[in-house]
């Protein structure tokens, strides 16, 4: 017997919350919903150490925001909002916690004698270039600190606002190792409007890839998430891969949708309303947990690899974009120019 995905979001916890955080009065901002607010806080620290049991290719992260105005139905970080006495659904999309002192904290923490200069990953939880960043400019300050300390870093984003900071990213790449990636799961404009209502369009994100390629730094694409029954047909994958390669992506990594608690319920609510015919498929694929079966993931990856071959993509194994290159980007660009 298959188990149905839960239909309701978990109830909001009682006042006080597991984080013990009393949130200040919100400030109206522009985001993916009409009633979005920023909640400004002064954090106690900004560098987060990733537990070794996580088995991810980064040890340290920075997240200047909690919640995300991109309002992606599937965002795996949704459940973190429940730690703040906020819900994983609409609150996550519309109540954005802003760590206004992030850059000052980072400058202090990188200056510590115990800091070893390890690579720092950004965009691991919520998007650092969501719409609130246009108002607060925290990432620009963070990048200046990373440049000043020549500390390697990587960024993953859907936000075209990253182009505002292209000058700082290039300056940092002259003195340290830098990696940038954009996520584009599909180039279907209708699907984008439905499932990522607050994010820039996929075609605008691919313009970011072009701009970084033209600047000589290069930009990877995380083809994610690929949505079962919505963006996983051979024709859809072929169209998306062709657009990504045409934009000049440094590499392309496909990832199938995974549904953790919080995201699972919110996505299911949307799916029930907009695509009820797909409920049996999702109940079958995700009945045993957050990840689709390996057989389905392999099927999708094979489709992507076949499309890459058709459109002239590299046959070399794709490196993880979080594994920043060993040489500063300046040297890599010089090598590229010598080939022309």
Q: What is the pLDDT of residues 209-247, one digit of tens each?
A: 999 999 999 999 999 999 999 999 999 999 999 999 999
CA dist 319 and 340 (Å) reads: 24
pLDDT for 65 equals 97
Percentage of residues in the chain having pLDDT higher than 90: 74
Cα of first residue to Cα of last residue in the chain, in angstroms, is 61
Q: How confident is the model at residue 11 (pLDDT cuts 50, 70, 90)?
A: very low
Q: Would the CA dihedral through 270, 271, 272, 274 be positive or negative?
A: positive
CA dist 297 and 253 (Å) reads: 12
Give me the half-sphere count of Cα atoms (radius 13 Å) on the Cβ side of residue 115: 20
Token output for 4? 């149905």
Measure the CA angle with vertex 328, ends 325 and 333; round to 5°.
Answer: 95
CA dist 250 and 253 (Å) reads: 10
CA dist 272 and 133 (Å) reads: 32
Mean pLDDT of 179-187: 98
Q: What is the pTM of this model?
A: 0.84
Write phi, then psi, for 254 (nearest 5 degrees): -85, 145
**Which domains does the chain show, CATH number per domain?**
27-313 (3.20.20.70)
Mean pLDDT of 289-298: 96
User: What is residue 251's DSSP assignment?
Assistant: -
Q: Would the CA dihedral through 300, 305, 308, 309 be positive or negative?
A: negative
Token output for 48? 């987060």
**pLDDT at residue 327 greater than cutoff 60:** no
Length of the chain, in residues? 340
Q: How confident is the model at residue 84 (pLDDT cuts 50, 70, 90)?
A: confident
Query: How many helices and strands, by DSSP H and E, does the chain display?
Result: 12, 11
Q: How confident is the model at residue 124 (pLDDT cuts 50, 70, 90)?
A: very high
**pLDDT at residue 17 greater than cutoff 80:** no
Where would I find the beta strands (DSSP E) of the chain? 27-28, 37-41, 47-49, 60-62, 65-66, 95-99, 120-122, 153-157, 178-183, 220-226, 252-256
Q: What is the CA radius of gyration of the chain?
A: 20
Tokens 């072009």 correspond to what residue?
A: 210
Beta pairing, strands 178-183 & 153-157: parallel
pLDDT for 317 equals 53
**pLDDT at residue 319 greater than cutoff 70:** no
pLDDT for 23 equals 52
Contacts of 69 (CB under 8 A, 6+ apart): 29, 30, 31, 32, 33, 36, 93, 94, 96, 130, 131, 132, 198
Token output for 314? 């590299």
């Amino acid at each position: 017997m298959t188990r149905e995905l839960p239909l309701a979001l978990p109830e909001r916890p009682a006042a006080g919350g597991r984080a013990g955080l009393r949130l200040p009065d919100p400030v109206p901002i522009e985001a993916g919903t009409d009633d979005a607010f920023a909640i400004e806080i002064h954090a106690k620290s900004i560098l987060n150490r990733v537990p070794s049991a996580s088995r991810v290719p980064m040890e340290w992260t920075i997240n200047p925001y909690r919640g995300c105005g991109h309002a992606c139905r599937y965002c795996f970080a949704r459940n973190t909002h429940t730690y703040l006495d906020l819900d994983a659904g609409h609150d996550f999309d519309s109540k954005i916690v802003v760590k206004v002192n992030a850059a000052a904290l980072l400058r202090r923490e990188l200056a510590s004698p115990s800091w070893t200069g390890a690579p720092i990953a950004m965009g691991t939880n919520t998007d650092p270039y969501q719409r609130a960043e246009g108002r607060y400019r925290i990432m620009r300050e963070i990048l200046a600190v990373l440049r000043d300390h020549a500390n390697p870093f990587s960024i993953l984003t859907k936000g075209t606002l990253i182009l505002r900071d292209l000058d700082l990213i290039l300056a940092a790449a002259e003195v340290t190792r830098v990696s940038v990636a954009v996520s584009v799961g599909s180039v279907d404009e209708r699907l984008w409007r439905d499932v990522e209502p607050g994010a820039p369009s996929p075609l605008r994100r691919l313009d970011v890839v072009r701009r970084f390629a033209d600047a000589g730094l290069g930009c990877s694409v995380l083809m994610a998430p690929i949505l079962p029954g919505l963006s996983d047909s051979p024709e859809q994958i072929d169209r998306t891969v062709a657009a990504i390669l045409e934009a000049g992506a440094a590499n392309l990594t496909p990832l199938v949708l995974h549904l953790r608690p919080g995201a699972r319920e919110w996505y299911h609510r949307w799916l029930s309303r907009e695509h009820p015919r797909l409920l049996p498929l999702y109940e079958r694929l995700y009945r045993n947990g957050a990840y689709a079966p390996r057989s389905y993931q392999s099927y999708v990856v094979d489709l992507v690899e076949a499309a890459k071959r058709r459109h002239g993509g590299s046959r070399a194994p794709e490196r993880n974009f979080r594994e920043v290159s060993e040489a500063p980007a300046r040297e890599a660009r010089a090598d590229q120019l010598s080939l022309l």
